[in-house]
Amino acid sequence: MSAYCWASWRGAALMKMKKNKLIILLTLLCTALSYSACNNSDGIPATVTFTEHVAPILYNNCTLCHRPGGSAHFSLVTYDECRKNAGACAYVAKERIMPPWPADPHYTQFVGQRILSDHDIRILQLWASEGAPEGPKDKLIALPAYPVGSEIGTPDLRIPVQPYLLPANSIDKFLLVKVPFLLPADTFASLIEFIPGHKNVVHHVNGDMVKYQFDKKADVFAGERIVNMVEDTASLLQAFQKLGLPNDDGTYPVLQKSVVNYLPGAVGQKYPEGIGGYFLPRKGAFLLNDLHYGFTNKDEVMDSSYINIFFAKSPPKRPVQEFQLGTLGVAPVEPDLIIQPDSIKHVSSHFTVPFDISVLTINPHMHLLGKTFKAYALQPNGDTIRLISIPRWDFSWQYFYTFKKMVKIPKGSTIVAEGIYDNTRQNLNNPFSPPQLVRDRNGSMKATDEMFQFIITYLPYEQGDENISLETK
Ligand code: HEC
């Protein structure tokens, strides 16, 4: 299903690439001609070369993922690698498929957003159309130094995730994984980070923390570690039983949501001093709700991912809280998320906030039929607070978007999330051909069932929150 999604995504991109090739070439030719005529009028060099102009763009925007050991399946580091892919790079840049950033930057801006300028796109196009010349070798800048083992620093504790063997030519897997831990005492953490073993197979992770009361659970390590949510037809509750999550008396421990998330290109949510942080119980487990492994090529892959924990000396002053609109959330999806075959479906969800909140991070969530997503808040005084607009939904890139500064949503404002689904044949990501009825199934994570969720992490508002920068670099 999601392998299908990938395959069709790539297929579609390539198809479009061929169809548009002629047009692109013609456009490039024309632009090239007009530039040589009025060269340098807007900072475009007369001859675009790899070492002087292209490498700085690729090294700043692409090699985070496109390098050996990165999350993409091919590298854009050496001249040869880039020359071979010059046309494809110009195309994906122009279409704003790469770098992957589905949120519209004209609507709202977020921390760490990766968006090429029009100037950069022009450079990539000209370079491709001019035969991708190398330029003087001594002008090549150094590749940025990419952190190993942690994006943030040296962790205080590293907990391994159960290694998982992905067979050769494997399709996507969606796993529910338990990562138990036992500490010498209750403590606090400032940050919890997921580090993938093999970046190009670990696609994304969304993980919660299970917090046990010490005497209610004899053995946190009992039970299975991994349940495959697609191949195993178990309900979520049966899966929780298999993983041995309940307390010994059958009741359920406290679950703290979205404690550890991962998506290629996204760095762990590190907030300024005094914001965020976690209470870590002596006995607990991380519950990776959705460890998504992408397809593998001809080789089998053993993935050994792990979780890094950075301790904190004191309890969290302002722990981050979370709620969600839509599927399994505080406000329902309206109308019900039942998407008839060959139809376009509009849904929304509305929630009025009962007190002033400061929003840190938001995460829109839909599956393969998603087309667009938009969220905003309507204030009691009639003003609108923009939250996010995703004009071209992409199942593969579901970031937790962090605002550059916290966004205050005053008490009595109504948060509105709107989604459009496309269950026609025209949707190249449609998992069914011909299209079939697809619906929300109690938050089923299978990509062939749909979901509509808008997750919001927030703090109760305090004076001045809207001036605190969340860009910690
Ligand atoms: C956050 C990670 C990330 C960043 C940043 C990124 N890419 Fe990609 N890119 C990917 C992934 C993942 C794919 C999917 C194909 C794969 O698995 O290798 C991809 C696919 C592509 C493809 C299409 C290949 C195909 O098989 O259809 C091109 C071309 C490309 N990227 C170029 C770029 C360029 C140029 C940049 C920078 C301007 C860039 N990418 C930035 C992760 C990234």
159-205 pLDDT, tens digit each: 999 999 999 888 888 899 999 999 999 999 999 999 999 888 888 89
Domains in the chain, please, with CATH? Answer: 2-139 (no CATH), 157-312 (no CATH), 321-467 (2.60.120.230)
For position 170, what pLDDT does the model report? 83
For position 460, what pLDDT does the model report? 97
Distance of CA 9 from the midpoint of ligand 1 (Å): 12
Distance CA 75, CA 65 (A): 8
Name the residue of 53, 57, 65 to mutate for ligand 1: max ligand atoms within 8 A of Cβ. 65
Distance CA 91, CA 5 (A): 20
HSE value, Cβ hemisphere, 13 Å, CA-based, for 313: 1
Which residues sit opposite 195 in a β-bridge? 306
Mean pLDDT across the stretch 138-156? 91
Distance of CA 242 from the midpoint of ligand 1 (Å): 37
Show the tokens assigned to 109.
């801006």
HSE value, Cβ hemisphere, 13 Å, CA-based, for 204: 16
Which residues sit opposite 99 in a β-bridge? none
Q: Residue with the nearest Cα to atom 27 of ligand 1? A: 10
Atom of ligand 1 nearest to the CA of 124: 35
Show the tokens assigned to 283.
């006995």
For the chain, helix (H) and strand (E) counts, in that order, are: 6, 21
Atom of ligand 1 nearest to the CA of 71: 12
Atom of ligand 1 nearest to the CA of 64: 5
Q: Are 217 and 283 in contact (CB under 8 A)?
A: yes
Distance CA 197, CA 177 (A): 15
Position 387 pLDDT exceeds 80: yes
**Strands lying side by side in the sheet with 384-390:** 344-352, 414-422, 370-378, 384-390
For position 445, what pLDDT does the model report? 64
For position 231, what pLDDT does the model report? 74
SS3 80: helix
Structure confidence by residue, pLDDT tens digits, 217-261: 999 999 999 998 777 766 788 889 999 999 999 999 999 988 998
Name the residue of 66, 113, 295 to mutate for ligand 1: max ligand atoms within 8 A of Cβ. 66
Structure confidence by residue, pLDDT tens digits, 273-332: 889 999 999 999 999 988 888 878 888 889 999 999 999 989 999 999 999 999 989 999
Structure confidence by residue, pLDDT tens digits, 34-51: 343 334 556 889 999 999
Average pLDDT, the chain: 88
Per the model's pLDDT, the better-predicted residue between 444 and 194 turns out to be 194
Distance of CA 98 from the midpoint of ligand 1 (Å): 6
Structure confidence by residue, pLDDT tens digits, 104-128: 999 999 998 999 999 999 999 999 9
Residue with tokens 């722990």, as numbered in its chain: 319
Q: Are 188 and 251 in contact (CB under 8 A)?
A: no
Q: Rounded to whole angstroms, what are the CA distances from 388 to 221, 285, 392, 401?
A: 40, 32, 12, 9
**Percent of the chain clearing pLDDT 70 (strictly above):** 89
SS3 230: coil
For position 225, what pLDDT does the model report? 96
Distance CA 230, CA 233 (A): 6
Question: What H or E segment, with its residue span, contains residue 83?
Answer: helix 79-84
Atom of ligand 1 nearest to the CA of 88: 29
Distance of CA 99 from the midpoint of ligand 1 (Å): 7
For position 234, what pLDDT does the model report? 65
Q: Rounded to whole angstroms, what are the CA distances from 235 to 229, 251, 252, 367, 444?
A: 8, 17, 16, 19, 9
Per the model's pLDDT, the better-predicted residue between 6 and 292 turns out to be 292
**Percent of the chain clearing pLDDT 90 (strictly above):** 70
For position 32, what pLDDT does the model report? 41
For position 299, what pLDDT does the model report? 85
**What DSSP string describes 377-396?**
EE-TTS-EEEEEEESS--TT
Structure confidence by residue, pLDDT tens digits, 57-90: 999 999 999 999 888 989 999 999 999 999 999 9
Mean pLDDT across the stretch 330-347? 97
For position 392, what pLDDT does the model report? 96
**What DSSP string describes 209-222?**
EEE--GGG-S-TT-
Structure confidence by residue, pLDDT tens digits, 264-280: 877 667 788 889 999 99
Instruction: Give the torsion through C-alpha atoms of 371, 376, 378, 379, to 10 deg.
Output: 180
Q: Ligand 1 pocket: which residues have CB below 6 Å?
A: 10, 13-14, 61-62, 64-66, 71-74, 85, 88-89, 92-93, 98-100, 114, 116, 264-265
The whole-model pTM stands at: 0.85
> Cβ of 142: how many Cβ atoms within 10 Å?
7
Q: Are 346 and 451 in contact (CB under 8 A)?
A: no
- pLDDT range class, residue 11, cuts 50, 70, 90: very low
Position 263 pLDDT exceeds 80: yes
Q: Residue with the nearest Cα to atom 15 of ligand 1? A: 72
For position 8, what pLDDT does the model report? 32
